[in-house]
Structure 1
Amino acid sequence: MVSQYMHDPHSTHLEAVYRILRYLKSAPGRGILFSKHGHWRVDCFTDADWAGCPDDRRSTSGYCTFVGGNLISWRSKKQSVVARSSAEAEFRAMAHGICELLWVRGLLQDLGLPTDPPMRLYCNNKSTISIVHNPVQHDRTKHIEIDRHFIKEKMEAGVICIPFVQCGSQLADIFTKGLGFKIFSPIVSKLGMSNIYAPT
């Protein structure tokens, strides 16, 4: 995220870069460890930090995708337009997550590997989940109509299901906002990252 300030950097941005470099230096052996979990389930965690950028109030979308319990893809990206509600920001993040799930499913099918349907798209915003399940179109949700119909179509076809996940278990939080060590460390562990230099 600091790369967006390369054209006009300030001391606060340099401090953020130093913080990133300190973290990388402290964990040279940290990486993703793949292990067998006995299933081929495809899961995705999506989240959005609504109006999180103080400069232009655009939201940041993030998702991470798991196959068989192993992290295989992740993304963090500032949304291209300003979201007028947290639900709108979440819908955009969910739509990106579904596109990634569909791509992963196609890749697994090309490789001849089975998947356990439906694919799970975890979200921690109850209002967004209720809007997806509600067939009534409200005036206040018309601006997110396309994403809502796309998500609902995939859900009704049995391609995905959208279970609610508590904020403490929302792994995509790490891709949308800065987190303190007490929250950051458990999420990194749940993502499957291990330190090869740590004593066993």
Structure 2
Amino acid sequence: MADYSLFTKVNGDSFTGVLIYVDDIIITGNNLEEIEHLKSFLLKQFRIKDLGDLKYFLGIEFSRSKKGLFLSQRKYALDILHDAGLTGARPEKCPMEQNVKLQTTDGAILNDPTRYRRLVGKLIYLTVTRPNIVFAVQNLSQFMHQPRKPHMEAALRVLRFIKGTPGQGLFFPAINNLELKAYCDSNHACCPTTRRSTTGYCVFLGHSLVSWKSKKQPTVARSSAEAEYRAMANTCLEITWLRYIL
């Protein structure tokens, strides 16, 4: 009930999981016979095509070894750089300048806002495997209605940061524990326009990073302590949801 696209089957020590996104399906488990039985059943009911071991899914690349599973969006990142004409740009060491505060009234309005919107939309999907750009992309997504020149320059800086490590992603080790650990923080009154704070958290399952978020808080916090408690409350909600799945 916690995730309507995830289906599980437990039969003794056997576990099978099915993850569905529209007409794309991932099947996993610890019993190959159960997996083959499920695939043959689905083949009788629907017209499906078995693509074999998981290598590419919704723009995400998967590499498997004895040490674990590695997820990245290298091809997707390189495509974004190619579309923006930054394949030969000098890489940046961080996605956003320190203490930069973008505002809705700074700089000249872009003549063609669709380029900015399309770029930020692509960066949002890139955060699926790149938690290190989440805060910067969260900032950029606040100016979609009327992007200006400083906003575009900040977005291009994120691309130059990605240029340095286009194949960076997430690694899930094969040997792991199922202990949930979470870390949260807040940036008190960081928005110069609304004075609202930003919540940030990340959740680990053992040594694997499984959930993260950077989002502006819905109301103005009257103290840094209040902002921290709001961040902690949102993190607890995420932990509760993950526990339901587990």
Residue matched to 1:47: 185
Residue matched to 1:167: none
Question: Does the CA contact (< 8 Å) of 1:42 and 1:66 recur in 2?
Answer: yes
1:5 equivalent in alignment to 2:134: no
Q: CA deviation at 1:44?
A: 0.6
The one-letter amino acid of 1:67's match is L
Looking at structure 2, the residues matched to 97 and 37 of structure 1 have their Cα atoms a distance apart, in angstroms, of 26
- What runs of 5+ residues in structure 1 fail to find an aligned partner? 109-200
1:85 to 212, 219, 223: 223
The one-letter amino acid of 1:66's match is F
Structure with higher Rg: it is 2
Q: TM-score, normalised by structure 1?
A: 0.52
The one-letter amino acid of 1:16's match is A
1:95 equivalent in alignment to 2:233: yes
Deviations 1:32-79 (A, max 9, x none): 011145422100111100000111111000111100121001111101
Q: CA deviation at 1:25?
A: 2.1
Runs of 4+ in 1 over 3 A off after TM superposition: none
Q: Sequence identity, in percent?
A: 49
Provide the aligned C-alpha RMSD in A: 1.2
- Which one scores higher on RCO, CA 8 angstroms, separation ≥ 6? 1
Looking at structure 2, the residues matched to 51 and 37 of structure 1 have their Cα atoms a distance apart, in angstroms, of 41
Q: Map residues 1-200 of structure 1 onto 2, 5 A cutoff.
A: 1-36=139-174, 38-108=176-246
Q: TM-score, normalised by structure 2?
A: 0.42
* Greater helix content: 1
Looking at structure 2, the residues matched to 25 and 40 of structure 1 have their Cα atoms a distance apart, in angstroms, of 34
Distance 1:14 1:38, change over 3 A: closer
* Greater strand content: 2
Looking at structure 1, the residues matched to 212 and 165 of structure 2 have their Cα atoms a distance apart, in angstroms, of 20
Question: Does the CA contact (< 8 Å) of 1:62 and 1:74 recur in 2?
Answer: yes
